[in-house]
Structure 1
Amino acid sequence: MLKKERHDFVMRQINLHNRVLTSDLVQLLNVSEDTIRRDLQEMSGERLLYKVHGGALSTSYNSTFSSSTVYAKEAKGNIARKTISLIKDSMVILTGGGTTIIELIKHLPENLKATFFTVSPLVAVELSKYPKIEVNLVGGKFSKNSKINYGGHAISQLAEVNADLCLLGTSALHPKDGLTDTDWEINQLKRKMLNSSKKSAVLCISEKLDISLRLKVAALEDINFLITELAPTAEKLTPYQLKGLKII
């Protein structure tokens, strides 16, 4: 495989999942670890991604989530507008992190009166701009890769939360394998978030559908709503609807 083809593949994975692991790229591209490290170093020098220990992060993983670096921003804006239909005054809402959730927060009604719990400091900052929203940041270890708080302390705090709605972004969703990701400890956190909420919604651009990653977070039966930029009647969404998900 040519270097440009490898770089294009890496960027595709980065755009879809916000991060990649060197070990995964070695297997997927069938090249040496040294080759992947050189590729990531070169791409980092071109400011296409952030090279970190064990892999790389999307350039959208910064404190401002600049519009110029958010992948599929228009699609995520459409998802945000759809999601607002689930959010009502006086609700208790639990959120994860990521660019799709950040985009949702930016689209909230200015006078929304609600209580939010979030594991993401970046989401908390965006929520703080709304005068009638109470913001609760769940504490714990801070993941430099995912930009969220996690670990035993975060999970113990979530045990005391009884949210009306949990809103999660995702790296991958599959009709058979459900919600999956690559980080064991983050997956434990997401499971607890789902268990701490009466209803749950996954916010997912359509490019992340029909993809499975290594570790399972939850079955589709454990999720109530799927929100994409596609029309609810889109053929690609039919397998998810058949699993009982309400498509928005």
Structure 2
Amino acid sequence: MLKKERQAYILHRLNLHNKVLSASLCEDMKVSEDTVRRDLQELAGAGKLIKVHGGALSLAFNEVHFNSRTVYSQGQKAIIAEKAIGLIKENMYVLTSGGTTILEMARHLPPQLRATFITGSIPALNAYIAHPNINVIVVGDRVNKESKITVGASAIEKIKEVNADLCLLGTNAIDLQRGITDSDWEVVELKKAMIAASAKTVCLTIAEKLNSFEALQVCELKRIDYLITELDPTDKLLQPYVKAGVAVL
């Protein structure tokens, strides 16, 4: 790959997953660690990403108050958010993870809705707090600065005390064989606890993340009750998930 192609690939991966690992980029692009390091340094110098040890982060990680100019596929995520809101009923207890799709949903909750939202996502908390009628419960411990969500033993123990009606998961990757996967160990452990504490689990993802996977498994596909994308449920890309027993919205 030429340098321009490599750097375009890196930025696309960042837009899609908000984080890239140098080792994975080396394997994907079949280039050396030095080549990836130089590309990341050049892109960071141009103000296009945040270089960190072992990889890079999207510029969105510089912000707590995301806006549509910095959110990848914002229009698609708005469609997903509206579908997810349709599952939330009066007086429900709802666990939510982090991510810009979850934040889009949080910002568009109907003002008359009365429910209780439980999360450790700092951006989502800001949106929930601004809502006139919902109760907010924070699960807290140490903040993972990359994902802007609380992680650790205390957060997990707090979640274990919850009997939630819904778990809404922002999703990094999903495929038929591996289910939901992610690249951050602490976030994976948190999401596992959220799924275990909820009656129903809802996977929110843009279609571009379908049939992709990361190194760490969050849960098998059979643990997902609803899959929400911006696509029409009859879209052929979604039919394998329907056949696997997932309700697609």
Equivalent runs, 1:1-248 vs 2, <5 Å: 1-61=1-61, 62-248=63-249
**Per-residue deviation at 1:60?**
2.0
One-letter amino acid of the counterpart of residue 103, structure 1: E
One-letter amino acid of the counterpart of residue 177, structure 2: K
Give the structure-1-normalised TM-score: 0.97
Ranges in structure 2 where 5+ consecutive residues have no aligned partner: none
CA distance in 2, matches of 1:153, 1:25: 33
Mapped contact 1:221–1:244 kept (Cα < 8 A): yes
Deviates more, 1:162-171 or 1:144-153: 144-153
Mapped contact 2:95–2:164 kept (Cα < 8 A): yes
CA distance in 2, matches of 1:21, 1:12: 13
One-letter amino acid of the counterpart of residue 11, structure 1: L
CA distance in 1, matches of 2:33, 2:67: 31
CA distance in 1, matches of 2:117, 2:241: 28
Ranges in structure 1 where 5+ consecutive residues have no aligned partner: none
Deviates more, 1:59-68 or 1:85-94: 59-68
Over 2 Å off, 4+ runs: none
CA distance in 1, matches of 2:81, 2:180: 19
Deviations 1:127-159 (A, max 9, x none): 111011111111012112111111111111111
Number of equivalences:
248
Give the structure-2-normalised TM-score: 0.97
Q: Report SS of the residue matched to 2:213.
A: coil
Q: Report SS of the residue matched to 1:60.
A: helix
Mapped contact 1:97–1:168 kept (Cα < 8 A): yes
CA distance in 2, matches of 1:22, 1:130: 40
Q: Report SS of the residue matched to 1:15.
A: helix
CA distance in 2, matches of 1:77, 1:139: 28
Deviates more, 1:112-121 or 1:59-68: 59-68
Deviations 1:145-180 (A, max 9, x none): 111111111111111011100000111110121111
Deviates more, 1:141-150 or 1:192-201: 141-150
One-letter amino acid of the counterpart of residue 230, structure 1: L
One-letter amino acid of the counterpart of residue 109, structure 2: L
- State the identity as a percent: 48
Superposed CA RMSD in Å reads 1.0
**Per-residue deviation at 1:25?**
1.1
Mapped contact 1:60–1:99 kept (Cα < 8 A): no
CA distance in 2, matches of 1:185, 1:70: 23
